[in-house]
Copies of this chain bind each other. A is one copy, B any other.
Amino acid sequence: MIELIKATAREHLAVDGPNLSLRAVARDIGVVSSAVYRYFTSRDDLLTALILDAYTDLGDAVETAEQAVPRSDFAGRWQTLGRATRNWANANPPEYALLYGSPVPGYTAPPDTVGPASRVVQRLALIMRDAHAAGELAAPPHQRLPRPLRADLTALVALPEFGGTSVAIVARGMTAWTLLFGLISFELFGRLTNGIHDYEAYFEHQWRGIAGFVGLP
């Protein structure tokens, strides 16, 4: 039943956006609206469940795809990670908008979404770390950093998924991470409708381009 509610709610996301109507979901299932309260304590609770599911689904899809590539094919792993993320987003646009679109007004995601939310970027970091460990990651040029930014980045280098790299590498990894979701958002939110027609080719090219920027072969 919980699954049925969530599935129906997901369908509604596609039409109404994040202003999910609990009553409409109940109506679709053929149940009275108060019945939903047996399974979710509130509308926000249902929304949170959907968000968590979506993060998990995306994380699984990306990890599965990336894991199928030979470990030492860093460029291949990189490309696969990007492609899997984009594919998931194209297969689940409303979920993507829920996760990476504008925040729902009046709703704040509970702290237990943080973990699942960072699986993609962690995976991305892992590829760079592995390439770095194998000596196949070109070192970015040295750049001066203001002290507070250096502090932030230093803390990130200390994380296990970035461990052993450098502040400059982490910064470029974050550039790529930002670009990844920027590319997908532009595609799904209609920024490319004037100019680009072959979205897939465009994405593949842009994503490959940034691989060079982060130092991958």
Chain A residues packing against B (C-beta within 8 Å): 15-19, 97, 100-106, 114, 118, 141, 143, 145-146, 148-149, 151-152, 155-156, 171-172, 174-175, 178-179, 181-183, 185-186, 189-190, 194-198, 201-202, 205-206, 208-210, 212-213
27 cross-chain CB contacts under 8 A: A17-B104, A18-B102, A19-B19, A97-B103, A141-B212, A143-B205, A143-B209, A145-B201, A145-B205, A146-B205, A148-B201, A149-B198, A149-B205, A151-B197, A152-B195, A152-B197, A156-B195, A174-B206, A175-B209, A175-B210, A178-B182, A181-B182, A181-B185, A181-B186, A182-B183, A182-B185, A210-B213
A186 near B194 (CB under 8 angstroms)?
no
Contact partners of A171 in chain B: CB under 8 A: 205-206, 209
Contact partners of A148 in chain B: CB under 8 A: 197-198, 201
A201 near B102 (CB under 8 angstroms)?
no
Given the interface pairs A175-B209, A201-B148, A202-B149, the reply to whether A103 lies near B156 with Cβ below 8 Å is no
Prevailing SS type, chain A contact patch? helix
A201 near B103 (CB under 8 angstroms)?
no
CB closest residue in chain B, given A175: B206
| Total copies of the chain | 2
B179 near A102 (CB under 8 angstroms)?
no
Contact partners of A118 in chain B: CB under 8 A: 194
Contact partners of A17 in chain B: CB under 8 A: 102, 104-106
B105 near A102 (CB under 8 angstroms)?
no
Q: Report the separation of the CA atoms of residues A149 and B196 in the bound assembly, to the nearest whole angstrom.
A: 8
CB closest residue in chain B, given A146: B201
Q: Report the separation of the CA atoms of residues A206 and B182 in the bound assembly, to the nearest whole angstrom.
A: 14
- Greatest chain B CB density within 10 A among A175, A194, A213 is at A175
Q: Report the separation of the CA atoms of residues A103 and B183 in the bound assembly, to the nearest whole angstrom.
A: 15
A103 near B189 (CB under 8 angstroms)?
yes
Q: Report the separation of the CA atoms of residues A198 and B151 in the bound assembly, to the nearest whole angstrom.
A: 10
The minimal Cβ–Cβ distance linking A137 to chain B, given in whole angstroms, is 16
